[in-house]
Amino acid sequence: MKRTSLSRIALVVALFSLAPSFGSAEAATAPSKTITVGVDDDASFVVASRNGWIMGGTTFESSESSTVFAEKPMGGSDIWITQLDTSLNSLWSHRVGTSKDDIAGGVTLDVNGNIWIVGTSQTETSTASPVVMTTSPPPSLGPATTQGIAPVTVNPDGVSLNSPLVAAPSPLNQLTIQGLHSDGSALLKSSINFGEKYSILPTGIVSDSSGLWIAGTILTLESKASRGFYLNCDFALQCKAPIFLGKSSTSIRTLALNSGVLLLAGSTNDPWKGKPAIGKVDALALVINVKSGALTQTQRSGNAGTRRSWESSSIVNGEAVLAGTVDYGKKMEIVTTTFTKAGAVSSTGRWLGAPRVAFAPRGSGALALAFSVSPTELKAISPTAKGVGSEVVILSLSASKTGKRALKTLYLTSRSGDQELFALGGDQGALLAISSSGGGQLLLDRYPDSGSGAVKR
């Protein structure tokens, strides 16, 4: 296979200063480590595990010189995954995928510590219609009609693209699910072919005691219509037919699951509840009862002339918490909003910054929020903090009894060169940020809550 960069796949497949009145924050430093991967590789997820951290993303043939991957390329691009210990050393690593191109979509751990990875791939044989839809078509959630809909471009990085949608010669039309034991050994593997007329982009996977929930976006190649979807699989990887969301211009970029409540969020230009879009593109959040399948909340957020999207989500104390972007054309804002169980807004915050945007839930309802900032944007958040370029900032947001969140601590992954956020993970004792300044270098920064072990650069 020819070498293909992630940005090229995203383009070809095509699925892919306002500061709230928080108190002053003190910048903190962290233990760090640099991992060498391929020049075009990325890390799209990191989650806490029993032994440390599970990290992974998409790797290309250029990564044969990587210090992480001992296994040879499987063909085209591959999904990669590694187990890090608490000192950020790799305990094992694997490539996951097919002989064709594969793109990582997300990872989750079940209650037994098993690891479940979802991705998308090109199929090795053509299928005229989706295998998963051999029975009657599944129900759809969304508007009854569409008017003047313009397609929305989405991609695996969760970063808005201005490029038009272009049909791939061999589309990524196969959903892949790979299970691993906690020691990295193979558990189960399954795939769902959506047919040669579609490209599929899973953007996340979560689990509960009964099985797995997967969500993302499906693109119809001929019409360029994009629709959100979600589906449920048990741990034997027997999957139900997908539920489609929207009509022709809806994408799902993030999902969360807690106590039988499924939160799906992204962007839309479709009418919902009979109402057209407020802005050029609106942010969309849907709350679903997983037992009954009922849509219990539809939250649409928009501003005239703007493009909005939710990029990361969590359910905290029964409330939906979302983080995303507002693109005004000449500036970009990072926005967080908390919706109560009744659908009212209980808390919101806005900062100048740039995607990616990532949440990591903490204890007692607190959250960590990460995004990229310039030195000027950083000073608007914390006047005492000093930036040297485009840097990744992490805001630790504590929660009060009323649901309001206050800025408690500010962390900077301050290194040489401009940095791009790849992923953020958290557990009860620490945060782990994954970023890059290019050249195949993944920058890992761990922030212990106690501050012990922190080193100054």
**Beta strands per DSSP E along 185-273:** 186-193, 198-207, 212-220, 226-233, 243-245, 250-258, 261-268
Phi (first) and psi of residue 337, to 5 degrees = -140, 140
Confidence at 439, pLDDT banded by 50, 70, 90: confident
- Does residue 63 sit in helix, strand or coil? helix
Spatial separation of the C-alpha atoms in residues 361 and 194, rounded to whole Å:
33
Q: Give all strands (DSSP E) within 97-197, no chain letters.
A: 102-109, 115-121, 140-141, 174-180, 186-193
* More confident call, 331 vs 66: 331
DSSP tag of 380 = H
The pLDDT of residue 173 is: 93
In this predicted model, which residue has the larger pLDDT, 251 or 40?
A: 251
Q: Is-contact 48 194, C-beta < 8 A?
A: no
**What six digits make up the tokens of 54?**
């599970």
Is the full-model pTM beyond 0.95? Answer: no
Asked if residue 253 lies in contact with residue 240, where contact means CB atoms within 8 angstroms, the answer is no
DSSP code of 161?
Answer: -
- Using an 8 Å Cβ cutoff, are 257 and 361 in contact? no
pLDDT, position 160: 35
CB count within 10 Å of CB 434 equals 27
* The predicted structure's pLDDT at residue 123: 80
Give 64's pLDDT tier (boundaries 50, 70, 90): low
Amino acid at 117: I
Least confident of 9-23, 51-65, 333-347: 9-23
Q: 8 pLDDT band (50/70/90 cuts)?
A: very low
What residue type is 186 in one-letter code? A
Is the pLDDT score of 137 beyond 90? Answer: no
Greatest mean pLDDT among 1-10, 223-232, 393-402, 434-443 lies in 223-232
Cα-based distances in Å from 98 to 10, 54, 75, 101, 191: 18, 21, 7, 7, 10
Look at residue 164 and tell me whether its pLDDT is greater than 70: no
Cα–Cα distance, 453 to 456 (Å, whole number):
10
174 pLDDT above the threshold of 50: yes
DSSP alpha helices (H): ranges in 150-232?
A: none
Say if CB 229 and CB 193 are below 8 A apart. Answer: no
- pLDDT (mean) for 283-302: 94
Question: Which pLDDT score is estimated for 131?
Answer: 35
Question: For all residues of the chain together, what is the average pLDDT?
Answer: 80
Give the per-residue pLDDT at 282: 97
Full strand arrangement of the beta sheet holding 345-352: 307-316, 319-327, 332-339, 345-352
List, in order of start, the domains of the chain with CATH numbers. Answer: 6-16+25-129+152-448 (2.130.10.130)
Separation CA 57–CA 104 (nearest Å): 5
Helix, strand, coil content of the chain in percent (nearest 5)? 5, 50, 45
Give me the long-range contacts of 373-381 (CB less than 8 A, separation at least 24): 376/17, 376/352, 377/17, 377/351, 377/352, 377/353, 378/412, 380/17, 380/19, 380/351, 380/352, 381/19, 381/25, 381/351, 381/407, 381/410
Q: Which range has highest mean pLDDT (72-81, 106-115, 127-136)? A: 106-115
- Rounded CA gap, 243 and 431, in Å? 34
